[in-house]
């Protein structure tokens, strides 16, 4: 292969150019949660993408989303009443609770 020649790579391999730029709003940066635009017809797509995103980060986050935080004492804004009294396991759960809360808040369209 000649220097600067991008048509092949080694023996028998062709390089196919691809533009990663897109205007399709359903494609997302792999580090960002998919955004939900509020359209009920898009909800199923968004939920599937959100599930994959969260499971890719940490499968225990999805468990916290589905199961809640158990016996943690939280106020009406879902903030721990007294974090200092939490056991190490409860502190870990509380941290995951806020991680998933942040992901969801970033993914929802603010009205």
In which domain, by residue range, is 98 found?
40-107
Confirm whether 45 is domain-assigned: yes
Q: Cα–Cα distance between 53 and 103 in angstroms, integer?
A: 10
Here the tokens at position 24 are 């399709």
Q: What are phi and psi of 86, to 5 degrees?
A: -70, 145
Confirm whether 16 is domain-assigned: no
Average pLDDT over residues 102-108: 90
Say yes or no to pLDDT of 30 above 90: no
User: Per residue in 34-55, pLDDT tens?
Assistant: 999 889 999 999 999 999 999 9
Residue 80's pLDDT is: 67
Q: Which of 50, 53, 48, 51 is nearest to 30 (CA)?
A: 53
Q: Cα–Cα distance between 56 and 1 in angstroms, integer?
A: 38
Domain count, the chain: 1
Say yes or no to pLDDT of 23 above 50: no
Confirm whether 44 is domain-assigned: yes
- Are the C-beta atoms of residues 78 and 101 closer than 8 Å to each other? yes
Confirm whether 66 is domain-assigned: yes
């Amino acid at each position: 292969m000649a220097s600067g020649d991008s048509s092949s790579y080694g023996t028998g391999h062709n390089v196919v150019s691809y533009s990663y730029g897109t205007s399709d709003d359903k494609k997302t940066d792999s580090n960002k949660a998919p955004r939900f635009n509020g359209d009920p017809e898009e909800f199923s797509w968004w939920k599937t993408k959100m599930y994959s995103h969260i499971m890719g980060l940490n499968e225990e986050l999805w468990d916290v989303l589905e199961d809640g935080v158990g016996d943690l004492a939280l106020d009406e804004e879902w903030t721990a009443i007294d974090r200092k009294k939490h056991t190490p396991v409860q502190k870990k759960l509380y941290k995951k609770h806020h991680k998933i809360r942040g992901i969801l808040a970033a993914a929802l369209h603010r009205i």
